[in-house]
Structure 1
Amino acid sequence: MHINILIILAGLFLLAFVNKLVCPKLKLPEVTGYVILGAIISGVAGITVGMSKLNEVLDSIEIISSIALGIIGFSIGIELKLSVLKKLGNSIFFIVLFEVFGGFVVVAITSKIFGFQTYTALLLGSVAAATAPAATVAIIRKYKSKGELTSTILAVVGIDDAVALIVYVLAAGFASSMVTGEKLHILHIFVKVGISIFIAISIGAISGFVYSYIVKNIKNQDTMEMILVAFILLLLGLSEMFDVSELLTIMTFGAFITNLSEVTTRKSENIIEKFTGVFVGAFFIAGGAYLDYSLIKAVFGTSVLFFIARTIGKIFGAKIGATIGKASPKVKKHIGVMLLPQVGVAVALVISIKKQFVGVQVHGIDIGTFIFNILLLTTLLTEFIGPILTKRALLAVKEIKER
Structure 2
Amino acid sequence: GYILVGLILGNSGLKLWTPSTVASFSPIVNLALGIIGFMIGSELKLELFKKRGKSIYSVLFCEVIITFLMVSFFVSFLTQKIYLGILFGAIASATAPAATVDVLWENKTKGPLTSTLLAIVALDDVLALLLYGFASVIAKALIAHTQLSIVETIETPFFEVGLSVGLGVVGGYILFKLISFIKDRERILPFALGVIVLTVGIAVHFKIDLILSSMLLGFTLTNIAPVESKEVFEAIKKFSSPLYVLFFVLVGARLDFAMILKSGGMVLAVVYVLSRTFGKMSGAVLGGFIGRAHESVTKYLGLCLFSQAGVAIGMAISINQSFSHLGGEAKIVGETIVNVVVGTTFIVQMIGPLCVRFAVSKAGEIGKDVTEEDIIADYKVKDVIEKNVPIIQEDAHLDAMVDQVKESESLDFCVVDRKGTLLGSISIGDLRSVLLEQEIALSSLILARDIVVPTTRVLEEGKPLQEAIDIFRRRELDFIPVVKSEKTRELVGLIHYREIMKQIEQELLRRRGNV
Shared fold, TM over 0.5:
yes
Q: 1:158 to 1:112 in 2, by over 3 A?
A: closer
Report deviation, 1:350: 4.0
Letter in 2 for 1:176: I
1:334 matched residue in structure 2: 301
2:143 matched residue in structure 1: 176
- 2:313 pairs with 327, 343, 360, which one? 343
Q: Deviations over 1:199-242 (max 9, x none)?
A: 11112112222222332354532111121111111111121122
1:155 matched residue in structure 2: 123
- 2:88 pairs with 117, 127, 131, which one? 127
Q: Answer yes or no: is 1:98 the counterpart of 2:62.
A: yes
2:158 matched residue in structure 1: 194
Q: Deviations over 1:104-162 (max 9, x none)?
A: 32223323544x32xx2441342232258694247648969997332431122133211
Letter in 2 for 1:337: C
Letter in 1 for 2:222: T
Report deviation, 1:69: 1.4
Describe how 1:123-272 pairs up with structure 2 within 5 A: 123-131=84-92, 135-137=96-98, 140=101, 148=115, 149-173=117-141, 175-176=142-143, 180=145, 183-216=147-180, 218-272=182-236
Q: Is the 8 A contact 2:303 2:356 kept in 1?
A: no
Q: 1:230 to 1:263 in 2, by over 3 A?
A: same
**Segment of structure 1 superposing worse, 91-100 or 312-321:** 91-100
**Segment of structure 1 superposing worse, 326-335 or 195-204:** 326-335
Report deviation, 1:346: 2.4
Report deviation, 1:79: 0.9
Report deviation, 1:93: 4.6
2:248 matched residue in structure 1: 284
Q: Deviations over 1:7-45 (max 9, x none)?
A: xxxxxxxxxxxxxxxxxxxxxxxxxx2222222323xx5
- 2:342 pairs with 366, 370, 376, which one? 376
Cα separation, 2, equivalents of 1:391 and 1:35: 24
1:20 matched residue in structure 2: none
Flag the structure with higher helix content.
1
Report deviation, 1:198: 1.3
- Kindly indicate whether structure 1 or structure 2 has the higher relative contact order, using CA contacts under 8 Å at least 6 residues apart: 1
Q: 1:399 to 1:78 in 2, by over 3 A?
A: farther
Letter in 1 for 2:316: A
Which stretches in structure 2 are left out of the alignment for 5+ residues? 375-515
2:25 matched residue in structure 1: 61
Identity of aligned residues (%): 25
Report deviation, 1:62: 1.4
Report deviation, 1:330: 5.5
Cα separation, 1, equivalents of 2:342 and 2:15: 20
Q: Deviations over 1:292-338 (max 9, x none)?
A: 13224232122112211122123322442344345555655336633
Q: Deviations over 1:176-217 (max 9, x none)?
A: 36xx3x644221122111111111111211222222233235
Q: 1:98 to 1:129 in 2, by over 3 A?
A: farther
Cα separation, 2, equivalents of 1:321 and 1:152: 12
**Segment of structure 1 superposing worse, 282-291 or 135-144:** 135-144
Q: Is the 8 A contact 1:72 1:133 kept in 2?
A: no
SS in 1 for 2:239: helix
Q: 1:164 to 1:378 in 2, by over 3 A?
A: same
Cα separation, 2, equivalents of 1:360 and 1:349: 9
In our comparison, the structure showing a higher alpha carbon Rg is 2
Q: Answer yes or no: is 1:307 the counterpart of 2:246.
A: no
Letter in 2 for 1:129: A
Q: 1:109 to 1:244 in 2, by over 3 A?
A: same
Q: Is the 8 A contact 2:168 2:214 kept in 1?
A: yes
SS in 1 for 2:242: helix
Q: 1:94 to 1:123 in 2, by over 3 A?
A: farther
Which stretches in structure 1 are left out of the alignment for 5+ residues? 1-32
Cα separation, 2, equivalents of 1:152 and 1:109: 24
**Segment of structure 1 superposing worse, 186-195 or 130-139:** 130-139
1:41 matched residue in structure 2: 9
Flag the structure with higher strand content.
2
Q: 1:226 to 1:201 in 2, by over 3 A?
A: same
Cα separation, 2, equivalents of 1:246 and 1:141: 27
Describe how 1:384-399 pairs up with structure 2 within 5 A: 384-386=350-352, 389=355, 396=365
Q: 1:41 to 1:247 in 2, by over 3 A?
A: same
Report deviation, 1:386: 3.9
2:261 matched residue in structure 1: 297
TM-score, normalised relative to structure 2? 0.60
Kindly tell me the number of residue pairs found equivalent between the two proteins: 355
Report deviation, 1:48: 4.5
